[in-house]
Amino acid sequence: MSNSVPSINDREFNQFKSWIYKRAGINLTPAKKSLVAGRLYKRLKHYDIPSYGDYFKMIMDEGNKNELQWALDLLTTNETYFYREPNHFDFLVKHIIPTVSASGQFRIWSAASSSGEEAYTIAMMLMEKMGDGNWSVFGSDISEQILSHARRAQFPLVKARNLPEMLLRKYCLKGVGNKEGFLMVQSALRSKVDFKNINLIERIPNVGLFDVIFLRNVMIYFDTATKQKVMQNLLPHLKPGGYFIISHSESLNGVCDALKLVSPSIYQKS
């Protein structure tokens, strides 16, 4: 095999497109062909498999559930970083946290948490304003592999390039030696964050009720029907009066009428 990434033909691409839509609700457009080829090529190379079609046949084999999960992880993992879209965290600090009852439990769900940067950023905001109180952050993702990274809580320093210096110094440990260039989220913060493998287009397990749900930078990969299904699955887990936060590049127009817009990309349940 050449060191260059071979192209994926239309038939092979459509096989993966159909599978990932059924499995994760992600609608891959033809513009994603090179991305699919680039992410899967490392597995072709690993097994010395000559084509994407042969690899697809291999992962569909009943005995290859681990490799099936690996392919799913490769095609569903998206880049994230600390303090992404800071307006949402400002709203959380200024408008949501001040209304929290001191006697009740306060829970936030990072519903597409990827490697955990969003969940840990939320936890920093809560620790700053509520101390080590009765609050918790729950993170979920479809990729078990990426969740293992989230639980480990070690990140390249570049992932924290937008994080205010004060928060970086207060809640993160700087790596030294062979960990130079990395950070680790401190244990007191990690203890307030839990992660679970959840597929949002399938029946949601009993995770309880939340005051705030973050679902950012994932709906852009869904068609309208899938967005509606995801919202139907998530909304029963949002408390009345709770907030639902999506990315600034996303919209719930024509998707959900059970929420009212209270600020750009921030909704509230009646």
pLDDT digits (tens, 9 = 90+) for 143-176: 988 999 999 999 999 999 999 999 999 999 998 8
Q: What's the pLDDT tens digit per position in 175-209?
A: 888 889 999 999 999 999 999 999 999 999 999 99
Measured in degrees and rounded to the nearest 5, phi and psi for residue 12 equal: -65, -45
Active site residue 141: yes
- Identify the band that residue 77 occupies on the pLDDT scale cut at 50, 70 and 90: confident
- Identify the band that residue 3 occupies on the pLDDT scale cut at 50, 70 and 90: low
User: Which of 23, 39, 43, 151 does the annotation list as catalytic?
Assistant: 39
pLDDT cut 90: percent of the chain above it:
86
Q: Is the pLDDT of residue 1 over 60?
A: no
Task: Please spell the DSSP secondary structure of 207-243, one letter per residue.
Answer: ---EEEEE--SSGGGS-HHHHHHHHHHHGGGEEEEEE
Contact 13, 30 (CB under 8 A): yes
Report the chain's mean pLDDT, rounded to a whole number.
94
- Give the model's pLDDT for residue 191: 97
User: Which domains, and CATH codes, for the chain?
Assistant: 10-76 (1.10.155.10), 86-269 (3.40.50.150)
Mean pLDDT of 18-22: 95
Contact 195, 116 (CB under 8 A): yes
| Cα three-residue angle 116-102-109, rounded to 5 degrees | 25
- Give the model's pLDDT for residue 61: 83
Cα 236 to chain centroid distance, Å, stands at: 20
User: Which of 73, 141, 190, 211 does the annotation list as catalytic?
Assistant: 141
Q: Is the pLDDT of residue 2 over 80?
A: no
| Cα three-residue angle 193-194-198, rounded to 5 degrees | 135
Task: Please spell the DSSP secondary structure of 22-43, one letter per residue.
Answer: HHH-----GGGHHHHHHHHHHH
